Chain A
């Protein structure tokens, strides 16, 4: 009988384990996205070392820059230049413009998404406004730089990359002290 009594407790361990597994899926998903570019996730800040980066002037890659504001976000947000044609390996700079159109101080966070996802591991940002949040007073405007390069390992069949930024209003989240910076 003792062996019989033990079984339900083993099942409870399974249940607790699966509850934990549900939460473990969150970091696992993050790792998976980082490896595969799933969900268009771009990498963290990258240090550009001209010595180790191979320049490929034989081809041009079209980089489309898209900007959106999230539902309820009234700021003006645009890329100064919507399309860039870049050589793999060369360091490029794109400029983005934001303006707080409201009459109060607001905090914004831009979240990037890259398409196609398979290009994400070849797209490196050496400086980006998306790694920090922006605090702007009423009517204040800001020009924000973003530096990046495309690795020369980018597969030949990819000649166009779209990088989209969505600007979120995180004033409330920032006030609550609950915000993750960087993306």
Chain B
């Protein structure tokens, strides 16, 4: 981070404060973006360590390292930390850094709120992770925390979990309000909505999704809190409640949540592919409409997560067809990315490699999603490793690869230095091989019937699990290599130009590298070359 602190001659306003107070009290969108990104990387490593505990235990059949109760805590916290601690804050960090730069705004609309929404997060996750060291252990009911497992049968630390979720929800809501207010109010003159870079568009829609569903999540954990401590019976059948209702309310939040994690990734890839294909994005308008339709559809498909709990035939058919309908706008997006590359003068720098891998591997994850959407076959796949393979394909080579691509793509703008291209490419190939070796065999063990969230399994799954575990360690250590590359870039990378990539368009490339502490204090002129990238 030292390079970020460096002052530059073209830095016309006052620079950042010195010392730790700079980070504690900062209201600067670039500082807060940096904080979000480092925080999410830390969480990514912690969540990754939990994943490696899981994969170590599953390396061979039988119980070797951890007891089943601890194993359950590992799966639960791995999911919670990766979803709420790694992917979401990383996307918010990118939004903080990039949205003001892309729309020509001097900062976020509500800078103090921005500081608060970041600084809640370390406390929220401190609370959550501390439960692992408490008597009774941490949350062990799966990241979906189905009642009554998370109420009647929960460990006593569930209250810490509930408050943790409340805090991260509050953080996301404040962050979203800030992003919407920034995008709607602070665009430079001439930056009309349909000229905004696609990353800004995807974040605008994501922020609305967050505002719509994070309060529902807060509501459902509040009901849990009442059931656990105040003897209400929201989810307790004995008192007139209904545990299945928990699943409905949870997935009403949970399904839009998965699009919250992928839509900004769509935005990132839609910025990177045109740069390295040296062509404007194919079908910009259809991209915007596709994102909007995916966001709308995400509200009416939640019950496809719970086909097996029983619902009327009409309900099964509705949720099956509505789910399959999402493949249409998603297909439009994949088509447009491919069409953008078609006959482009492509080069394959690291961000582009990660983006192309995103398009291919996310599509594989999308196809396994279509298989799961079919009600009759879902009865077979429900709660198997096939589901695990599916959502890891959309989240790891999906959201995570997009975040890594974004870091390589904009890191020169953030710190003023170029990363080492050959190290970046090596990191890509290690990650690409690692991710596929880890998750591809899980399709097969899942189709063969291996249940998820188990510490032990039948002998016939031994080979696939061993391959998967080897891949997981390979992938995990490749990400430590990524940390090394980023630190090396910040400390000793070659100086980057303002434009960085010769095919790059957008207002963020018109400011010097590294981006000065204050940018666009006077609104820039939005030219056709820099908008609508």
List of B residues within 8 angstroms of A182 by Cβ: 240
Per-position binary interface string of chain A over residues 17-54, scored 1 when its CB falls under 8 Å from any chain B CB and 0 otherwise: 11101110110010001001111110000000000000
A-side binding surface: helix, strand, loop or mixed? helix
* CB–CB A19/B215 < 8 A: yes
CB–CB A117/B212 < 8 A: no
Cα A8 to Cα B181 in complex, Å, equals 6
Check if A168 sits within 8 Å of B238, measured CB to CB: yes
Cα-based distance from A26 to B219 in the complex (angstroms): 11
**In residues 297-313 of chain B, which contact A (Cβ within 8 Å)?**
310-312
**Residues of chain A in range 132-183 having any CB-CB distance to chain B below 8 Å:** 166, 168-170, 173, 176, 178-183
Instruction: Given A8-B109, A14-B212, A23-B219, decide whether A70 and B181 contact each other with a Cβ distance below 8 A.
Output: no
Hey, which chain B residues are within 8 Å of A19, CB to CB? 215-216, 218-219
Q: Which residue of A lies closest to B243 (CB)?
A: A39
Contact of A15 among B109, B211, B223 (CB under 8 A): B211
Find out whether the CB atom of A39 lies under 8 angstroms from the CB atom of B239: no
Contact call A173/B180, Cβ cutoff below 8 A: no
In-complex Cβ contact of A26 among B181, B215, B245, B310 (8 A) = B245
Residues of chain B with a CB closer than 8 A to A183's CB: 240
- The verdict on A111 contacting chain B, using a C-beta distance below 8 Å, is yes
Q: Please, which residues of chain B bring their CB within 8 A of the CB of A179?
A: 233, 239
Contact with A along B162-201 (1 / 0, CB 8 A): 0000000000010011001100110000000000000000
Question: What are the residues of chain A within 8 A of B245 when measuring CB–CB?
Answer: 25-26, 29, 39
What is the bound-complex CA distance between A42 and B348, given in angstroms? 62
Contact A173 B218 (CB under 8 A): no
Shortest CB-to-CB span from A174 to chain B, Å, is 10
Cα-based distance from A94 to B230 in the complex (angstroms)? 37
Please give, as numbers and ranges, the residues of chain A lying within 8 Å of B220 by CB-CB distance: 22
Best-surrounded residue of A14, A15, A23, A166 (most CB of chain B within 10 A): A15
* CB of A118 closer than 8 Å to a CB of B: yes
For B327, what are the chain A residues with a Cβ–Cβ distance below 8 Å?
A: none
Which chain A residues border B315 with CB–CB below 8 Å? 38
Within 8 A of A (CB), among B213-261: 213-220, 223, 230-234, 236-240, 242, 244-245, 248-249, 252
In the bound complex, do residue A39 and residue B218 qualify as a contact, i.e. CB atoms below 8 Å apart?
A: no
B-chain residues with CB within 8 Å of residue A118 when the two chains form the complex: 312
Contact indicator A21/B216 (Cβ below 8 Å)? yes
CA of A11 to CA of B217, assembled, Å = 17
Cβ-defined contact, A7 with B312, below 8 A: no
For B240, the chain A residues whose CB sits under 8 A away are 180-183
- Contact: A15 with B215, CB < 8 Å? yes
List the B side residues contacting A15 at CB < 8 Å.
173, 177, 211, 214-215
Contacts A11-B181, A26-B234, A29-B248 hold; do A178 and B218 have CB atoms under 8 A apart? Answer: no
Q: Are B215 and A40 in contact (CB under 8 A)?
A: no
Q: Which residue of B lies closest to A115 (CB)?
A: B310
In whole angstroms, what is the CA distance A12 to B237 when docked?
34
- Decide yes or no whether A109 CB sits under 8 A from chain B: yes
B215 with A170: CB separation less than 8 A: no
Most chain B beta-carbon neighbours within 10 Å: one of A8, A22, A29: A22
Quote the shortest CB–CB distance from B114 to chain A (angstroms): 12
Q: A4 CB to closest chain B CB, in angstroms?
A: 4
In the assembled complex, how far is the CB of residue B239 from the closest CB belonging to chain A, in whole angstroms? 5
- Does B238 lie within 8 Å of A170, measured CB to CB? yes
Residues of B within 8 A of A170 (CB): 238-239
Q: B110 interface residue, CB < 8 Å from A? A: yes
| Smallest Cβ-Cβ distance to B237: which chain A residue | A111
Given A18-B215, A22-B249, A180-B239, are A7 and B233 also a contact pair (CB < 8 Å)? no
Contact among A18, A29, A111 with B238 in the assembled complex (CB-CB below 8 Å): A111
Q: Quick check: A25 and B252 within 8 Å, CB to CB? A: yes
Given contacts A19-B216, A22-B216, A173-B233, contact A29 B181 (CB under 8 A): no
Q: What residue of chain A has the Cβ atom nearest to residue B242's Cβ?
A: A39
Contact between A8 and B215, CB atoms less than 8 A apart = no
Residues of B within 8 A of A21 (CB): 215-216, 219
B185, B215, B249, B310: the one contacting A39 at CB < 8 Å is B310
Q: Residue A178 contacts which of B232, B248, B311 (CB distance < 8 angstroms)? A: B232
Contacts of B185 on A, CB cut-off 8 Å?
4, 7
A39-B310, A180-B233 given as contacts; is B180 within 8 A of A22 (CB)?
A: no
The docked-state distance in angstroms from the alpha carbon of A47 to that of B234 is: 29
In the complex, the answer to whether B239 meets A178 with C-beta atoms within 8 Å is: yes
A26 to B411, CA, bound (A): 47
Give the complex CA separation of A166 and B148 in angstroms: 15
Can you pick out 30 interface pairs between chain A and chain B where the beta carbons lie within 8 Å of each other? Answer: A8-B110, A11-B180, A12-B177, A14-B212, A15-B173, A15-B177, A16-B215, A17-B215, A18-B213, A18-B215, A19-B216, A22-B216, A25-B249, A26-B223, A29-B248, A29-B249, A36-B312, A38-B312, A39-B242, A39-B310, A109-B238, A111-B237, A117-B312, A118-B312, A170-B238, A173-B238, A173-B239, A178-B231, A179-B233, A183-B240
6 more A-B residue pairs beyond the given contacts A38-B311, A169-B238, A178-B239, with a C-beta to C-beta distance below 8 A: A16-B215, A19-B215, A21-B215, A36-B312, A39-B242, A180-B240
